[in-house]
């Protein structure tokens, strides 16, 4: 009878209730399955045995064969330490214990051959090994122990309870004995053959007890491919089901609004990238399925005009459109920009945010419901139950990573048929991440900037260069330009941030005195009306310098602002630095971004600053960001759950990810319902996967 891998871990020989409890709490191991999928995070090569005279002062883990010839206790400041003299045929070294001495003296045998394993430290003219792993040579030789020793994830609590790496390895050994090392295959024969993959059973054995470096590499590749393959399969199937089940409104015609705007009022020529994206959107809207598209485009690449022209397609077919933005500042800005475009076309457009007056709200609610209002721009306020549409055909969501899934689905429920969805982001998402997190959305990319834009010059300056930077600001202001000075905003240290901002404001006020210079200040503690007043002064050119926290990160558009100074730039993430830089360079003049930092910089900070100075390609920046921060941080909590990966690494294994997506797509194209006999094994595994919601709960 096959072993049931859903058996609670308590039943495994050598575990028992108290250990099981710790495994559950500390490592999330509830079943045999979970233990099997606790993959080592590194390996120690135990093929080498050293003599005491071959040891090096390099802090590496080594193993030495010898005998304990004596024990002594040495008094020290707190308590005593136990020291054993360990001898082989060429010399001696010391083994040292700071705790557990009684057990060690009672259990270790003098003058018997042992294998001692641990870090050899050079101290006081000789080598010593603190808290070594010791095993009788005869036990060592007969154990199911490979040369490559796995090191498992652990926690301090586990170590304190004596659940060491060796104990976990023994549990796995027991699990392999109980299962005879046989596990259900989860990939089809054609895939196994084509990619020359080893079997599931072989892979699991060699990932826990690798016989050689080569077998370990094969095992890891097989398991990583499998993990990524099933993630991709889920996303591709989800997308297919979405398209077949969720009917959209077919927008059958391109009519007056779109054509009149395109022929008479388009403010500039569209780039080829914008034209390509509009074609992709047009094709989606014309089909019978609901559009579910992600539009990526760097800051300033012209996403808004594409969004507006998509709205015109909805209006041409008698539908309403809405645009939802994460902040009032951004919503107001979208509204002001679109209002200008709507005027000549006689389109009714309004904005709804948290600070809209009650009297305005009533009119908006009424005209939305009776269909008089054609376009609404707003914040979360659009999600309120009172907001009802006459017939919402297109919902555009800006900077979608700031909205949770729950919030987005509220928009869908505003209609009997869900509207078409276009999600926009100026945060370039690396391809690998887009394939994994947004694999169920269709993706469009605007990858060229409008003509006439000059690349922004980015430099890194230390605090000691501040006087030169101030001189440069004066020169730019004398040419009629405006300047941003941005301070970090990190919630945990709000008081500190506020102090930094105020100190900065005072020092700038001293160097740029009134009435010759006017300065605006904007931060999170201000009332929305005051913020808006200061913003407007800057936008109208009444102030030359805007001192702000990161509230201006998204969406503020002042073509005359040509310099962005980012204070304490080392405290910002890469994507934030890139977003802030995108606030300048909106006019035809040469723009600059100056990254100010202190002298003490971590390696990651140096990498971020060098990347910013070297490139302005948002996708390249996003790849570096992903490498530095990892996928969980990049996506924010509401999306990182998708990537609860056990063995694959989305950054390091991106080639395997691309292969996995290719095979998953191919499979669904040739056998959409997985009905072919050869795909039985994949169908069964897929059912298990979706049942447990976590890929590794079933894969075995």
**pLDDT bucket at 699, cuts 50 / 70 / 90:** very low
pLDDT at 638 over 50: no
**Same domain assignment for residues 136 and 173:** no
Please check whether residues 128 and 237 belong to one and the same domain: no
Number of structural domains (the chain) is 5
Domain that holds residue 569: 457-615
Instruction: Please list, in sequence order, all residues whose beta carbon lies within 8 angstroms of the beta carbon of residue 561, skipping any fewer than 6 positions away.
Output: 481, 482, 483, 484, 538, 546, 583, 584, 586, 591
- The span from the CA of 260 to the CA of 388, in Å, is 29
- As a 3-state breakdown, the chain gives helix, strand, coil percent values, each rounded to 5, of 45, 20, 35
pLDDT score recorded for residue 157: 84
Q: Which letter, b or e, does each residue of 626-661 get, where b requires 16 or more Cβ atoms within 10 Å of its Cβ? A: bebbebbebbeeebeebbebebbebbebbebbebbb
User: Is 477 a residue whose pLDDT tops 80?
Assistant: yes
31 and 176 co-located in one domain: yes
- The sign one gets for the Cα dihedral 260, 261, 267, 270 is negative
Give the pLDDT score at 296: 87
Residue 431 included in any domain: no
Say what the pLDDT of residue 180 is.
Answer: 86
Q: Is pLDDT at 469 greater than 80 in this prediction?
A: yes
Question: For 140-154, 470-484, 639-653, which range has the lowest pLDDT when averaged over its residues?
Answer: 639-653
If asked whether residues 406 and 333 sit together in one domain, one would say: yes
DSSP string, 84-102: EEEE-SS-EEEEEESS-HH
345: three-class secondary structure by DSSP = helix
Decide if 637 is inside a domain: no
Using the predicted structure, report yes or no on whether residue 404 has a pLDDT greater than 60: no
Candidates 537, 507, 509, 512; CA nearest to 522 is 537
Show the tokens assigned to 460: 């890194």
Residue 508's CATH number: 3.40.50.300
Q: Is the pLDDT of residue 666 over 70?
A: yes
Q: Are residues 308 and 421 in the same domain?
A: yes
pLDDT class of 79 with cuts at 50, 70, 90: confident
Lowest mean pLDDT among 241-245, 264-268, 366-370, 621-625: 241-245
Q: What is the pLDDT of residue 665?
A: 92
Q: pLDDT tens digits, residue range 258-275?
A: 999 999 999 888 999 999
The average pLDDT across 581-604 equals 88
Contact in structure between 285 and 291 (CB atoms under 8 Å): yes
For 416-454, write each residue's pLDDT tens digit.
Answer: 678 898 988 877 777 667 766 666 678 888 888 777 778
Q: Would you say residue 194 lies in a domain?
A: no
Q: Is residue 625 part of a domain?
A: no
Q: Are residues 275 and 378 in the same domain?
A: yes
In our burial notation (b when 16+ CB lie closer than 10 A, e otherwise), range 292-307 reads bbbbbbbbbbbbbbbb
Confidence (pLDDT) at 686: 92
Inside any domain, residue 569: yes
Q: Which of 425, 449, 484 is the last residue of a domain?
A: 425
Confidence of residue 60 (pLDDT cuts 50, 70, 90): low
Instruction: Please report whether residue 446 resides in a domain.
Output: no
| Interval 26-57: pLDDT, tens | 998 999 989 999 999 888 767 778 899 888 77
Query: Do residue 352 and residue 404 come from a single domain?
Result: yes
* Structure tokens given for 72: 């002594």
Task: Answer yes or no: do 106 and 178 share one domain.
Answer: no
Q: What does the pLDDT read at residue 439?
A: 67
- Does pLDDT of 678 surpass 70? yes
For the cut 80, the answer to whether the pLDDT of residue 327 exceeds it is yes
The answer, yes or no, to whether residue 491 has pLDDT greater than 70, is no
Across 93-102, 526-535, 668-677, least confident range: 526-535
Contact 335, 349 (CB under 8 A): yes
Beta-carbon count within 10 A of 487 CB = 22
CA gap 179, 458 in Å, rounded: 60
Residues 122 and 260 in one domain: no
Pair 158, 27: CB distance under 8 Å: yes
Q: What is residue 632's predicted lDDT score, i.e. its pLDDT?
A: 52
Residue 95 lies in a domain: yes
Determine which of 86-95, 527-536, 671-680 has the lowest per-residue pLDDT on average: 527-536
Specify whether 362 is located in the same domain as 278: yes
Q: pLDDT by residue (tens digit) across 534-576?
A: 888 998 999 999 998 876 644 567 888 999 999 999 988 888 8
Q: Which helix (H) or strand (E) holds 394?
A: strand 392-398
Highest averaged pLDDT of the listed ranges 276-285, 323-332, 566-575: 276-285
- What pLDDT is attached to residue 518? 93
pLDDT, the chain, mean: 85
Residues 226 and 338 in one domain: no
pTM summary value:
0.65
Query: What is the three-state SS of 552-592?
Result: HCCCCCCCCEEEEEECCHHHCCHHHHHHHHCCCCCCCCCCE
Residues 239, 274, single domain; the answer is no
Tokens in use for 515?
């009435």
For residues 599 and 466, give the distance between their C-alpha atoms in angstroms, rounded to a whole number.
Answer: 13
- DSSP secondary structure letters along 409-439: HHHHTTSSSPPEEEEEESS---HHHHHHHST
Task: Kindly report, residue by residue over 168-221, the tens digit of the pLDDT.
Answer: 999 999 999 988 888 899 999 999 999 999 999 999 999 999 877 788 889 999
């Amino acid at each position: 009878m096959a072993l049931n891998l859903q058996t609670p871990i308590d039943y495994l020989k050598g575990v028992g209730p108290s250990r099981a409890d710790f495994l559950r709490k500390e490592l999330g191991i509830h079943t045999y399955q979970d233990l099997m999928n606790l993959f080592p995070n590194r390996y120690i090569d135990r093929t080498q045995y050293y003599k005491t005279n071959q040891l090096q002062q390099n802090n590496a883990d080594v193993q030495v064969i010898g005998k304990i010839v004596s024990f002594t206790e040495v008094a020290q400041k707190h308590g005593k330490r136990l020291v054993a003299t360990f001898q082989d045929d060429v010399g001696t070294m010391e083994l040292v214990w700071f705790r557990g001495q009684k057990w060690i003296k009672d259990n270790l045998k003098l003058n018997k051959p042992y294998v001692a394993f641990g870090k050899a430290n050079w101290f006081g003219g000789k080598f010593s090994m603190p808290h070594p792993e010791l095993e009788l040579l005869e036990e060592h030789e007969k154990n199911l122990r490979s040369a490559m020793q796995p090191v498992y994830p652990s926690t301090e609590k586990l170590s304190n309870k004596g659940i060491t790496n060796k104990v976990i390895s023994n549990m796995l050994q027991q699990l392999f004995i109980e299962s005879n090392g046989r596990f259900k295959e989860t990939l089809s024969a054609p895939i196994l053959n084509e990619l020359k993959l080893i079997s599931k059973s072989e892979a699991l054995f060699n990932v826990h007890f690798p016989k050689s470096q080569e077998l370990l590499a094969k095992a890891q590749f097989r398991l990583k491919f499998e993990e990524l393959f099933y993630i991709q399969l889920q996303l591709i199937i989800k997308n297919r089901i979405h398209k077949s089940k969720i009917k959209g409104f077919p927008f059958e015609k391109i009519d007056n609004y779109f054509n009149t705007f395109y022929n008479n009022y388009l403010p500039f020529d569209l780039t080829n990238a914008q034209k390509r994206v509009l074609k992709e959107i047009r094709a989606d809207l014309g089909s019978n399925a609901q559009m579910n598209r992600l539009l990526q485009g760097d800051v300033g690449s012209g996403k808004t005009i594409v969004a507006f022209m998509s709205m015109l397609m909805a209006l041409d077919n008698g539908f309403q459109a809405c645009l939802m933005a994460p902040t009032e500042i951004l919503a107001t800005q979208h509204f002001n920009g679109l209002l200008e475009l709507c005027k000549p076309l006689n389109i009714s457009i309004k904005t709804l945010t948290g600070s809209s007056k009650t009297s305005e709200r009533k009119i908006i609610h009424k005209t939305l419901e009776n269909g008089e209002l054609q376009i609404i721009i707003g914040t979360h306020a659009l999600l309120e139950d009172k907001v009802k549409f006459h017939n919402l055909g297109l919902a555009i969501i800006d900077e979608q990573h700031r909205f949770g899934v729950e919030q987005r689905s509220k928009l869908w429920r505003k209609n009997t048929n869900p509207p078409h969805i276009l999600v926009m982001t100026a945060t370039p998402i690396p391809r690998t991440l887009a394939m994994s997190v947004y694999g169920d959305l269709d993706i469009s990319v605007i990858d060229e900037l409008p003509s006439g834009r000059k690349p922004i010059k980015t430099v890194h300056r230390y605090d000691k260069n501040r006087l030169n930077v101030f001189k440069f600001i004066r020169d730019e202001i004398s040419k009629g330009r405006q300047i941003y000075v941005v301070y970090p905003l990190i919630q945990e240290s709000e008081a500190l941030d506020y102090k930094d901002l105020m100190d900065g404001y005072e020092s700038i006020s001293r160097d740029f005195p009134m009435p010759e210079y006017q300065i605006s200040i904007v931060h999170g503690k201000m009332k929305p009306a005051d913020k808006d007043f200061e913003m407007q002064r800057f936008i109208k050119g009444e102030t030359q310098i805007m001192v702000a926290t990161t509230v201006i990160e998204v969406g503020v558009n002042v073509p005359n602002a040509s310099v962005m100074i980012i204070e304490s730039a080392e405290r910002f993430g890469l994507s934030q630095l890139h977003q802030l830089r995108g606030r300048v360079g909106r006019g035809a003049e040469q723009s600059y971004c100056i990254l100010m930092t202190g002298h003490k910089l971590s390696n990651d900070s140096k990498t971020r600053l060098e990347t910013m100075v070297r490139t302005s390609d948002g996708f390249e920046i996003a790849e570096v960001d992903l490498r530095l921060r990892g996928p969980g941080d990049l996506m924010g909590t509401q999306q990182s759950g998708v990537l609860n990966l056990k063995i694959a690494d989305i950054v390091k294994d991106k080639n395997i990810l691309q292969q996995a997506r290719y095979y998953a797509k191919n499979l669904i194209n040739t056998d959409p319902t997985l009905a072919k006999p050869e795909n039985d094994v994949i169908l069964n595994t897929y059912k298990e996967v979706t049942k447990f919601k976590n890929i590794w709960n079933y894969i075995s």
